[in-house]
Amino acid sequence: MGIINNNFLKLNESYLFQEINRRTREWMAKNPLREVLRLGVGNTTEPLTPVIVDAMHKKLNELSYVNTYTGYGDEQGNNDLRAALADFYKREYNVHLDRNEYFVSDGAKSDAGNIQELFSPSCKVAVQDPSYPVYVDSNVVGGRSGLYNSNQLSYDGFVFLNAASENGFIPSPPKEHVDIIYLCFPNNPTGAVATSEQLKAFVDYAKREKAIIIYDAAYADYIRTPGIPHTIYEIEGATSVAIEINSFSKNAGFTGVRLGWTIVPFDIEADGVEKGLLHKLWNRRQCTFFNGASNIAQSGGVAALSQEGRKECRGMVDYYLGNASIILNGIKKVGFECYGGINSPYIWTRCPKGMSSWEFFDYLLNKTGVVVTPGVGFGKQGEGYVRISSYGHRENIEKAIKKISEEL
Amino acid sequence: MGIINNNFLKLNESYLFQEINRRTREWMAKNPLREVLRLGVGNTTEPLTPVIVDAMHKKLNELSYVNTYTGYGDEQGNNDLRAALADFYKREYNVHLDRNEYFVSDGAKSDAGNIQELFSPSCKVAVQDPSYPVYVDSNVVGGRSGLYNSNQLSYDGFVFLNAASENGFIPSPPKEHVDIIYLCFPNNPTGAVATSEQLKAFVDYAKREKAIIIYDAAYADYIRTPGIPHTIYEIEGATSVAIEINSFSKNAGFTGVRLGWTIVPFDIEADGVEKGLLHKLWNRRQCTFFNGASNIAQSGGVAALSQEGRKECRGMVDYYLGNASIILNGIKKVGFECYGGINSPYIWTRCPKGMSSWEFFDYLLNKTGVVVTPGVGFGKQGEGYVRISSYGHRENIEKAIKKISEEL
């Protein structure tokens, strides 16, 4: 394999959603008269809201006239959107950061994948288990792992922070030294949210160990319980240890429109890293590998952060949270043990009767036509669980829960 | 620098456009009554065309209704756009590739930067000198260079393929073995275009050396001389050695909208790399680090590739080529030695009287208020040249050329 990056060759195929689709198709072929009800993927289903659509139409009109046309924007994002982000954090979270600390991107997935490029291949990386696969996969490509280990259902070399019912799916900071910790709250897939005290333990750890926290807050708008932090910067001192990644996907329906942001505070420092360096390097990274997010999407983002836009988007999140509540109550009534679904769009359900994730997936599909996501696809600790997603039209959610109530 | 990627620390700040802006601002402050005429950056100035704007408004409307809303698309791009790309290559270039060999992206810059991730840090990389800085910078980050060498005005470890007036700015293939060759035709910054024979020499070299060509064709639509290849796949056998990167930026005005594509043929093979592997790895890379280009931009892309869209876009390119022609003729009349500007939006101009790139930049700015790009910003061989860009409104181009004619 002369010229190929060996780290890429370590990377397993990502079979989870392919395998879900394969099994679903097979079942449909065998049961042509039965209805499939998909509660698997975390894909938004509700339309963009009026204020956002209007802003994007307006931008599109501007792009169609010679006097208002604009070409390349700044790689870091347009000034008005960066200012709107800074204002939004001040207004809603009392977090005061400079607009230049906000980097606009084409979505949280890109940033979550790319951020590791700033760090040495020798860095020790900790991830929650289970977790969104991009944190692990991108670090495999970055050379921070060993080979795939089928006992761990992941790669050697990572520190896995186990999330289980015993710790309320909120792991403690690692016992050993690590350099980088990925955290995601509200968590995908478990739906768990961390309290200020729990987050503070990670911030304290990072300060002590001179480590960096990469905090994925893509589901922050689903938090409705008072007192639960929406951003890691609500924790004192977090600006000196944490990078935060966020997105317009799940709160404004931009999954297909593509827009996100990453905050790299000027204040971050770490082992051998003086203040300002990480900010400067991420800036250089974006200027080299990226040419800015779509200007149409960015206009939509500014509208989404306006008072009116926030109100509309809250309505959209309410809708999905309403779905989550229907799922949670329905599943609980059947007697299943489940978590999340309150400050999160995901309901993390323990498979009944000791079934494995895939066994329960098949069982549920056969009995009810409902498709969920096997928890084992998110890591070893996900075995024995499934993730149920509240992204869907209300009538489908209700139909799925009715089916489950009747058939199980 | 414990936890930082050392390769990032090798990377110099990118001063070129910053320094241009600094000197321009300084001049403006000193000459408040004089007009600045910017022929520096390669940024489009003409509005999006009607067919494209209509398609994007339509998509936006679809996203605003529950029955037509869609969320995540495929990471590889939407099927209709991939099909439209495959059809466009068949129709216009007689190049027959499968739609799945086309990967849609948010622009050529991202792909040009990211493609190197697939390759080993030990790969030897050849770039044209001068060239678009992303090829070099991304490979520095990828660990395929030594330190910055101020004699070379670049990094150690690269093989530089010198483009100069003696070879018509078309270098020959390297004498030594390399693993990866970046080529860009029509070239940025020199405006040179390669003939089939010249490209065939590179394809033959790549086959012989089991190397990979990364072919940046972002300016292909500016080629109007019959017989000059628009895509490297017009060269026999190129599908077994070349990846091609292209963009809607310069032919459809998508610099701010963001949309591009990269072709990784199934057939590519290289040293130790069997057919299909590179395609599979790029697919895996995009699925891990990218979540698809904006669906609004993609609808615009489909429209741009329609017969009507192609006609409109040709009109837009004609406009910039008209500008190029005015610049080329005007500059020639003043007696300057210049290249490009025929099948390219860039006019590569030798600085008069042995001036350096920056000396001529200052001279031109002081005499005429015209801002150009110092050629040395693109590499050592660019010293003694400036790049003049035809992106601008016609009246500004004419004004600039008039100024140059009168003052020089």
Q: For the segment B224-261, what is each residue's pLDDT rounded down to a tens digit?
A: 999 999 999 999 999 999 999 999 999 999 999 999 99
Closest CA to A110 of A86, A140, A138, A136: A138
The span from the CA of B78 to the CA of B70, in Å, is 11
- Six token digits for residue A191: 């739906």
Smallest CA–CA distance from A136 into chain B, residue: B288
- Reported confidence tier of residue A110, pLDDT bands at 50, 70, 90: very high
Find the farthest-apart pair of alpha carbons in chain B and give their distance in angstroms, rounded.
67
**DSSP state, B11?**
P
Residue labelled with tokens 């679903």 = A24
Smallest CA–CA distance from B254 into chain A, residue: A71
Q: Are residues B296 and A295, on separate chains, in Cβ contact within 8 Å?
A: no
The span from the CA of B24 to the CA of B122, in Å, is 41
Q: Are A260 and A248 in contact (CB under 8 A)?
A: yes
Q: Is B294 on the interface with A (CB under 8 A)?
A: yes
Measured between CA atoms, how close is A360 to chain B, in angstroms?
Answer: 26
Contacts of A47 in chain B (CB under 8 A): 63-66, 69
- Restricting to B residues 25-44, those with a Cβ less than 8 Å away from any Cβ of A are 41, 43-44
Q: Is A139 on the interface with B (CB under 8 A)?
A: no
Measured between CA atoms, how close is B209 to chain A, in angstroms?
Answer: 12
Residue A1 has pLDDT above 60, yes or no: no
- Restricting to B residues 272-291, those with a Cβ less than 8 Å away from any Cβ of A are 272-273, 277, 281, 284-285, 287-291
Q: Are A4 and B281 in contact (CB under 8 A)?
A: yes
Q: Are residues B296 and A294, on separate chains, in Cβ contact within 8 Å?
A: yes
The span from the CA of A106 to the CA of A305, in Å, is 16
The pLDDT value given to residue A18: 86
**DSSP state, B119?**
B
Probe site for chain A from B6, B7, B8, B122 (most A CB atoms < 10 A): B8
Probe site for chain B from A258, A295, A320 (most B CB atoms < 10 A): A258
Please give the C-alpha separations between residue B114 and each of A91, A288, B192, in angstroms, as whole numbers.
37, 10, 25
Task: Enumerate residues 6+ apart whose C-beta is below 8 A from A406.
Answer: none
Express each pLDDT in A273-289 by its tens digit: 999 999 999 999 999 99
Q: Residue B121: exposed, middle, or buried by beta-carbon count in 10 A (0-12, 13-18, 19+)?
A: middle
Pairs of CB atoms within 8 A across A/B: 251
Q: Is B73 on the interface with A (CB under 8 A)?
A: yes
Contacts of B72 in chain A (CB under 8 A): 41, 43, 255-256
Q: Are residues A48 and B64, on separate chains, in Cβ contact within 8 Å?
A: yes
Q: Is A167 on the interface with B (CB under 8 A)?
A: no
Smallest CA–CA distance from B122 into chain A, residue: A3
Radius of gyration of chain B (CA): 21
Q: Are residues B258 and A290, on separate chains, in Cβ contact within 8 Å?
A: no
Reduced to 3 states, what is the DSSP secondary structure of residue B400?
helix
The pLDDT value given to residue B327: 98
Q: Is B253 on the interface with A (CB under 8 A)?
A: yes
Q: Are residues A64 and B44, on separate chains, in Cβ contact within 8 Å?
A: no
Residue A294 has its nearest CB partner, among B5, B257, B391, at: B257
- Restricting to B residues 315-374, those with a Cβ less than 8 Å away from any Cβ of A are none
Q: Is A138 on the interface with B (CB under 8 A)?
A: yes
Measured between CA atoms, how close is B62 to chain A, in angstroms?
Answer: 8
The span from the CA of B356 to the CA of A220, in Å, is 54
Average pLDDT over residues A51-77: 97
Contacts of A69 in chain B (CB under 8 A): 44-48, 253
**DSSP state, B225?**
S
Q: Is A392 on the interface with B (CB under 8 A)?
A: no
Contacts of A139 in chain B (CB under 8 A): none
The pLDDT value given to residue B15: 78
The span from the CA of B317 to the CA of B297, in Å, is 19
End-to-end CA distance of chain A: 51
**DSSP state, B273?**
B
Q: Is A109 on the interface with B (CB under 8 A)?
A: yes
Please give the torsion angle defined by the CA atoms of residues A287, A290, A296 and A298, in that order, rounded to the nearest 10 degrees: -60
Residue A253: what residue type? G
Task: Enumerate residues 6+ apart whose C-beta is below 8 A from B364.
Answer: B370, B371, B372, B386, B404, B408
Contacts of B257 in chain A (CB under 8 A): 63, 294-296
Q: What DSSP element (H or E) covers A338?
A: strand A338-340
- Six token digits for residue B272: 């130790």
Measured between CA atoms, how close is A265 to chain B, in angstroms?
Answer: 16
Q: Residue B393: exposed, middle, or buried by beta-carbon count in 10 A (0-12, 13-18, 19+)?
A: middle
The span from the CA of B184 to the CA of B368, in Å, is 31
Residue A389 forms beta bridges with which residues? Answer: A346
Q: Are residues A120 and B53, on separate chains, in Cβ contact within 8 Å?
A: no
Q: Is B119 on the interface with A (CB under 8 A)?
A: yes
The pLDDT value given to residue A395: 97
- Six token digits for residue A72: 């390349």
The pLDDT value given to residue A239: 98
Contacts of A107 in chain B (CB under 8 A): 291
The pLDDT value given to residue A322: 98
Smallest CA–CA distance from A118 into chain B, residue: B5
Cis peptide before A32 (omega within 30 of 0): no
Cis peptide before B186 (omega within 30 of 0): yes
- Restricting to A residues 193-252, those with a Cβ less than 8 Å away from any Cβ of B are 210, 212
Q: How many CB atoms lie within 10 A of CB B40?
A: 24
**φ, ψ (nearest 5 deg) of residue B82:** -65, -40
Q: Are residues A73 and B110, on separate chains, in Cβ contact within 8 Å?
A: no
Closest CA to A296 of B60, B14, B309: B60
- Reported confidence tier of residue A41, pLDDT bands at 50, 70, 90: confident
The pLDDT value given to residue B18: 86
Smallest CA–CA distance from B118 into chain A, residue: A5
Q: Is B79 on the interface with A (CB under 8 A)?
A: no
Q: Residue A32: exposed, middle, or buried by beta-carbon count in 10 A (0-12, 13-18, 19+)?
A: exposed
Q: Are A378 and A134 in contact (CB under 8 A)?
A: no
The span from the CA of A378 to the CA of A383, in Å, is 9
Residue B60 has its nearest CB partner, among A14, A56, A69, at: A56
Residue A386 has pLDDT above 80, yes or no: yes
Residue A224: what residue type? R
- Give all strands (DSSP E) within A172-271, no chain letters: 180-184, 212-216, 242-247, 260-263
Q: Helix, strand, coil: what percent of chain A each, to 5?
A: 45, 15, 40
Contacts of A6 in chain B (CB under 8 A): 120
Please calculate the CA angle B286-A290-B303 and round it to the nearest 5 degrees.
Answer: 70
Contacts of B262 in chain A (CB under 8 A): none
Express each pLDDT in A305-362 by its tens digit: 999 999 999 999 999 999 999 999 999 999 999 999 999 999 999 999 999 999 999 9
Residue B63 has its nearest CB partner, among A47, A113, A120, at: A47
The span from the CA of A319 to the CA of A313, in Å, is 10
**DSSP state, A69?**
-
**DSSP state, A4?**
B
The pLDDT value given to residue B192: 98
Express each pLDDT in B18-65 by its tens digit: 899 999 999 999 999 999 999 988 899 999 999 999 999 999 999 999
The span from the CA of A371 to the CA of B214, in Å, is 42
Q: What DSSP element (H or E) covers B105?
A: strand B102-105
Q: Are residues A69 and B50, on separate chains, in Cβ contact within 8 Å?
A: no
Under-50 pLDDT residues of chain B: 1
Q: Are residues B114 and A5, on separate chains, in Cβ contact within 8 Å?
A: no
**φ, ψ (nearest 5 deg) of residue A243:** -100, 135
Residue labelled with tokens 């610099």 = B255
Probe site for chain A from B1, B5, B395 (most A CB atoms < 10 A): B5
Reduced to 3 states, what is the DSSP secondary structure of residue B20?
helix
Please give the C-alpha separations between residue B29 and each of A172, B23, B24, B25, B111, in angstroms, as whole numbers.
57, 10, 9, 6, 39
The span from the CA of A211 to the CA of B395, in Å, is 55
Q: Are residues A110 and B180, on separate chains, in Cβ contact within 8 Å?
A: no
Residue A259 has pLDDT above 70, yes or no: yes
Residue labelled with tokens 């439209």 = B84
The span from the CA of A327 to the CA of A83, in Å, is 38
Region of poorest pLDDT, from A381-390, A395-404, B1-10: B1-10
Q: Is B136 on the interface with A (CB under 8 A)?
A: no
The distance of Cα B180 from the centroid of its chain, to the nearest Å, equals 17
- Six token digits for residue B18: 């910053």
Q: Is B15 on the interface with A (CB under 8 A)?
A: no
Q: Are residues A296 and B295, on separate chains, in Cβ contact within 8 Å?
A: no
Q: Residue B231: exposed, middle, or buried by beta-carbon count in 10 A (0-12, 13-18, 19+)?
A: buried
Average pLDDT over residues A44-49: 98
Contacts of A12 in chain B (CB under 8 A): none
Predicted structure pTM score = 0.97
- Contacts of residues B204-209 at CB distance under 8 Å and 24 or more positions apart, as own/partner, are B204/B173, B205/B173, B205/B174, B205/B181, B206/B181, B206/B241, B206/B242, B207/B237, B207/B240, B207/B241, B209/B177, B209/B178, B209/B179
Residue labelled with tokens 């307006």 = A58
Q: Is B395 on the interface with A (CB under 8 A)?
A: no
End-to-end CA distance of chain B: 51
- Six token digits for residue B158: 């690269």
Residue A141 has its nearest CB partner, among B45, B117, B391, at: B117
Residue A230 has pLDDT above 50, yes or no: yes
